[in-house]
C-alpha cells in the first residue's frame, strides 16, 4: 500500500502511455495518488484525472513561479474549483527564490492569498519552498497556516528548519532525492523527523530515485524511496509504506 502524495501525471512526459501507466498503478500497490496543480490549466487537468480514475485525487493551486498569471478574476475561478469533491488540497503554493520569478512581492502576496483560501474552504496546503526557508516560515506563521495544515513538499532544508515546520504541524514530503548518495542533509532530516509526520511523494515526472535517477519518474519508483527510509529508520519497508499511507490519508482527509 503506497500513497504518492505529490504527482504531475498531467505532464506531457506521460502523453504517450498515461492511461496504460495509471491503470497499472493499483495492481502494483499504489492505491492513492494526489495529482497536484501548478497553475490554472494544470489544476483543471488534475481535476480531470481525478474524475477519470478513482484512486487519484487533485490539489488545486498556483505554483510561485506561475503566480504572475493570477488576477482577482481567475482567483475567483480557482476558488470555485475547491468545492469539487475530489479536490483535497490547495497546492502547490509557496515561494521559489531559486528561479526567483516573478517578483518576490508577487509570490508572497499570492502565497498568502492561497493560504487564506485553504483556511476558508477547510483544505490543507501543499507548499513548494525553494531557497526561501525564512520567508516561507514567516508567511505560514503570519497567516496562521497551522489551521490549514499540510505538506512541505520536496523538503530541501536542514533539521533546524524541519523542526520549525514540524512545530507548526506540517508533514514533510520526501521523494527520490533521499536515495541520492550526496543527499546527506535530507537523510539527516529523515532520521530526525518522526515517522508519523513523513509522507512519500514522487513529484513525477521529475526526481526519480536511484537506480532510475535521471529517467522519467512515476509512482512505481516509490518502493526505492521507502526502502531507503526503511534503512534510515530501522523499520520494515512494508511498515514504512503503511504508516506513510495512513499519514497521507489523514492529512488530506481521505476516508
Question: Which residues are at the interface with Ni ion (CB under 5 A)?
Answer: 203
Give the residue with the Cβ less far from Ni ion, 11 or 31.
11
Nearer to Ni ion, 82 or 129 (CB): 129
* Max CA separation in the chain (angstroms): 50
Least distance CB 73 / Ni ion (angstroms): 25
In sequence order, what are the residues at sequence separation of 6 or more whose Cβ sits closer than 8 angstroms to the Cβ of residue 215?
208
d(CA 101, CA 87): 27
* Count of beta carbons in the 10 Å neighbourhood of residue 7: 29
Least distance in Å: CB of 7 to Ni ion? 8
Q: Which three cell numbers stand for residue 26?
A: 493499483
Q: Which residue is nearest to Ni ion (CB)?
A: 203
Beta carbon of residue 36, minimum distance to Ni ion (angstroms, whole number): 5
Smallest gap from residue 203 Cβ to Ni ion (A) = 5
Nearer to Ni ion, 164 or 203 (CB): 203
Q: Which string of DSSP letters, residue by residue, matches 151-195?
A: EEET--S-HHHHHHHHHTT-EEEE-GGGGSTT-HHHHHHHHHS-G
Supply the minimum distance, in Å, between the C-beta of residue 96 and Ni ion: 11
Given the DSSP bridges, would you call strands 150-153 and 87-96 parallel, antiparallel or unpaired? unpaired
Based on CB atoms, which residue is closest to Ni ion, 8 or 113?
8
From CA 67, how far away is CA 51, in angstroms rounded?
26
The residue to which cell 506513510 is assigned: 244
Is the Cβ of residue 178 or residue 233 nearer to Ni ion in the bound state? 178
Torsion of CA 30, 44, 98, 137, to 10 degrees: -80
Residues contacting 83, CB < 8 A, separation 6+:
121
* Smallest distance from Ni ion to CB 32, Å: 17
Nearer to Ni ion, 203 or 228 (CB): 203
Smallest gap from Cβ 8 to Ni ion, in A, equals 6
Which is nearer to Ni ion, 65 or 233 (by Cβ)?
Answer: 65
> Cell triple for residue 96?
521559489
Amino acid at each position: 500500500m503506497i500513497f504518492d502524495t505529490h504527482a504531475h501525471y498531467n505532464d506531457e512526459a506521460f502523453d504517450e502511455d498515461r492511461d496504460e501507466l495509471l491503470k497499472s498503478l493499483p495492481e502494483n500497490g499504489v492505491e492513492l495518488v494526489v495529482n497536484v496543480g501548478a497553475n490554472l490549466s494544470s489544476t483543471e487537468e488534475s481535476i480531470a484525472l481525478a474524475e477519470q480514475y478513482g484512486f487519484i485525487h487533485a490539489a488545486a493551486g498556483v505554483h510561485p513561479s506561475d503566480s504572475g498569471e493570477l488576477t482577482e478574476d481567475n482567483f475567483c475561478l480557482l476558488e470555485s474549483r475547491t468545492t469539487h469533491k475530489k479536490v483535497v488540497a490547495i497546492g502547490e503554493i509557496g515561494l521559489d527564490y531559486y528561479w526567483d520569478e516573478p517578483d518576490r512581492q508577487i509570490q508572497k502576496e499570492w502565497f498568502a492569498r492561497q493560504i487564506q483560501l485553504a483556511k476558508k474552504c477547510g483544505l490543507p496546503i501543499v507548499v513548494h519552498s525553494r531557497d526561501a526557508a525564512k520567508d516561507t516560515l514567516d508567511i505560514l506563521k503570519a497567516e496562521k497556516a497551522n489551521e490549514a495544515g499540510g505538506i512541505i513538499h520536496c523538503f530541501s532544508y536542514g533539521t533546524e528548519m524541519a523542526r520549525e515546520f514540524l512545530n507548526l504541524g506540517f508533514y514533510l514530503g520526501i521523494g527520490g532525492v533521499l536515495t541520492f548518495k550526496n543527499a546527506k542533509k535530507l537523510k539527516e532530516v529523515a532520521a530526525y523527523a518522526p515517522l508519523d509526520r513523513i509522507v512519500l511523494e514522487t513529484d513525477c515526472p521529475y526526481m526519480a530515485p536511484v537506480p532510475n535517477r535521471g529517467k522519467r519518474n512515476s509512482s512505481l519508483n516509490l518502493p526505492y524511496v521507502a526502502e531507503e527510509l526503511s534503512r534510515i529508520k530501522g523499520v520494515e519497508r512494508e511498515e514504512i509504506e503503511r504508516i506513510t499511507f495512513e499519514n497521507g490519508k489523514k492529512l488530506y482527509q481521505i476516508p
